[in-house]
Structure 1
C-alpha cells in the first residue's frame, strides 16, 4: 500500500523527532532495543490505543480535555517565564480559541449522542490548534474570532459594561444586607 507523499513526510518528521536526544526518546530507545519494535511503531500504537479510547472509553471527554489542556498549560507557563513575546502571543491565542471552543461545545452530550467520535475529533483538533507547525489557533483566530470581535466590539463592550454594572449592584446589595 502506497503512502501519500504528504503523509510520508509527516511520518518521517515524527520518526526523526523520536530519535532526537531527550528523556522520552531515550526511554523509547530503551523499549525499542528490548522489544525489537521500532519506536515509531510504539508511538503509533499508543496513539491508536488512545484514539480507540477516545471513541469507546468511559471518560473520553475528560481525557480529551486533558489533551487540550495539560501541554498547552505547561508551555504557557514556560512562555510567561521566558523573555520573548512570540510564545506569549501564540499561547494567548490558543487559550482564546480554546475558550471559544469550550463555550461552543456547551451541548457536548447531545453532540456525542449523535457523533460518537466527537472526543477523538476534538482531541485531534486541539492538537492541530496547538502544534507550532500547524499554527491552527492563529489561523482560526485571524480568520474567525478577530474579525467577529472587531466588527462587534462596541456591542460587546456595551454588554460587558451592563454585566459589570449589574454585578456591582448585586455586590452592593449583598454588602448592605451583611452590614
Structure 2
C-alpha cells in the first residue's frame, strides 16, 4: 500500500473514531446513520466531497474560506485567553502569526492565484491544517521552518526600522502640537 493510501485510511479511521466519541457529534451521526441507513463514515466522506466540489466551483468559496480561517480560530482564541493555560495561548498566537503572514503574502499573489480553480480549496485546507488539533499542525510547521528563522535573522533590522518609524511619528506629532 502506498504512503498516500495509508495516510488516507489512517485519516478515515481517525474520523470514524471521532464520529463515535460520546457527545453531540456522535448523537447527530447516529441519527443520520439510522435515518439514511448508511454508515456515518460514508456520510462524512460524502459531505467532504460536496465541500470539495463547492470550494472548487461554488460562488461564495472565498467567503467560506475566510469564514473557516477566521471564525473558529477567533472563537477558540478568546476561549484560550480566558483559560489559565499558557499552552493554548501559544498555540493560537502561533496560528495568528502564520495567518497574518499568509494574508500579507496572499495580498501580493491573490490576483494571480484566485484564477486557479483549486485555489480556495487549497487555501481552506491549508488554514484547517494550520489549526488542526494535533501537535505538529500547519501553524507549528510554517512558524518553525519559515517565519521564526526569518524573524531571528532580521530582528535587528526590524527593530531599527521600527525605531526610525517611531522617531518619524514623534517628529510629526511634535510638529502638529507646536502649531497649536
User: What is the TM-score with the length of structure 2 in the denominator?
Assistant: 0.88
Gaps in structure 1 of 5+ consecutive residues:
none
Q: Cα 1:152–1:20, aligned 2, differ >3 Å: closer, same or farther? A: same
Indicate the residue corresponding to 2:59 in structure 1.
58
Aligned partners of 1:120 and 1:21: how far apart in 2? Answer: 30
Aligned partners of 2:25 and 2:90: how far apart in 1? Answer: 27
Gaps in structure 2 of 5+ consecutive residues:
none
Alpha-carbon shift at residue 90 of structure 1 (Å) = 0.7
Indicate the residue corresponding to 1:74 in structure 2.
75
User: Residues 81-123 of structure 1: CA distance to partner in whole angstroms, max 9, x if unpaired?
Assistant: 111111111110011001000000003122112x221110011
The 5-angstrom pairing of residues 85-100 of structure 1 reads 85-100=86-101
Aligned partners of 1:75 and 1:96: how far apart in 2? Answer: 15
Q: Are residue 158 (structure 1) and residue 160 (structure 2) matched?
A: yes
Question: SS state of the match for residue 114, structure 2?
Answer: helix
The 5-angstrom pairing of residues 19-30 of structure 1 reads 19-30=20-31
| Number of residues of Structure 1 aligned to a counterpart in Structure 2 | 177
Cα RMSD of the aligned pairs, angstroms, is 2.2
Aligned partners of 1:95 and 1:152: how far apart in 2? Answer: 20
Aligned partners of 2:149 and 2:80: how far apart in 1? Answer: 26
Question: SS state of the match for residue 58, structure 1?
Answer: coil
User: What is the TM-score with the length of structure 1 in the denominator?
Assistant: 0.88
Q: Cα 1:159–1:22, aligned 2, differ >3 Å: closer, same or farther? A: same
Aligned partners of 1:176 and 1:72: how far apart in 2? Answer: 45
User: Residues 14-50 of structure 1: CA distance to partner in whole angstroms, max 9, x if unpaired?
Assistant: 1010011122331221111111122222222222111
